[in-house]
Amino acid sequence: MPLMTGIVGLPNVGKSTLFNAITQAGAESANYPFCTIDPNVGVVDVPDERLQRLAEIFQPQRIVPTTFQFVDIAGLVKGASRGEGLGNKFLSHIREVDAIIHVVRCFEDENITHVAGKVDPASDIETINLELVLADLETVEKRKDRVERQKKSGDKQAMLEHDILVRLQAALAEGRPARSVELDKEEKQLIKSLNLLTMKNVLYAANVSEEDVARADENPHVQTVKRIAAGEGAGVVTISAQVEAEIAELEEEEKKLFLQELGLETSGLDRLISAAYRLLGLITYFTAGEKEVRAWTIREGTKAPQAAGVIHSDFERGFIRAEVTAYQDLMACGSMAVAREQGLIRLEGKDYVVRDGDIITFRFAV
């Protein structure tokens, strides 16, 4: 199943506008709460300049980037954990995604209604975080009651899980997210089925006006978001959803000129997509030849056979070895022939951990 990042936030903060710009999927966007009731899912190419440079060397018939899924989720309001607004549906949709992009309104516009009547990023963030915490607290308490009964029978796993739940309950009761509790790999596996909302990694998207896009760091609302994110260990990408929506309609050359006029090197969307990709601990490896140059997504730490399995299950089942060249080595050599002459094409076995940027040819037999 492909990994997904959910775009969340209060109503009318620019979620759907941003989603449209990312995917050009035409999600409905309007100036009233709950416009987005059912989540819209869009697939987007992950920007990677390495693909083009590899294409210059291999001259392939086609170039295939790796992709990423974004989900536009309905706006949340205070009381969602108790079912207010579209609360229950909203929360269930968040449970299905792997990470969260929290869009925060950082612009003033009297023509766009704010659900709380004023633009206040700190309050907006607190509203959503509190609802997620309250929903998780209810989940943990229900599970804890059930595990306590199992614990009385001497179930060792129940005893271990109970200890974890006590720690989680204490953190959530203090308003802290579940991810703030230090858990080892085994402990995380024990409570994985809870699918806690606040266990998911968060990236804040500070949505600014077109006027502020080139000087976003001076925006006091953006400064507030960055301060809160720093306290949570979360990342921040400053973006103007409206500007990105306009850029998305331009041809490539027009896009470059527009970005130059705004004083930007890259679009906010490219930065957001790349940041979301890293948020999930993903890396890219490449396969390259005359037919195609293609990027593949794997989790950081994936070994060669499992990386091969992303291409086809037969590659993993019949894995023999991987012929690996580091991207930087190939760029320095200028061709695979030179890289081979210089001994920069390595033969790796089943225990090899694939690195970001590896160019790989898999050998297999089934």
Q: Which residues are annotated as a binding site?
A: 12-17
Sign, Cα dihedral of 324, 329, 333, 338:
negative
Query: In the 3-class helix/strand/coil scheme, how is 158-207 assigned residue by residue?
Result: HHHHHHHHHHHHHHHHCCCCHHHCCCCHHHHHHCHHHCCHHHCEEEEEEE
**Alpha-helix runs per DSSP H in the chain:** 15-23, 49-58, 87-95, 121-151, 156-173, 185-190, 220-232, 241-248, 252-262, 268-279, 304-311, 313-317, 327-333, 336-341
Two tokens, residue 78? 């205070």
Distance CA 46, CA 67 (A): 5
Sign, Cα dihedral of 347, 353, 357, 360:
positive
Residue 205: beta bridge partners?
103, 237
Write out the binding residues for ATP: 12-17
What DSSP state is assigned to residue 74? P
Non-local (6+) Cβ contacts of 31 within 8 A are 12, 111, 112, 113
Whether the CB-CB separation of 299 and 70 falls below 8 Å is answered with no
Residue 43: beta bridge partners?
69
Non-local (6+) Cβ contacts of 17 within 8 A are 29, 241, 242, 245
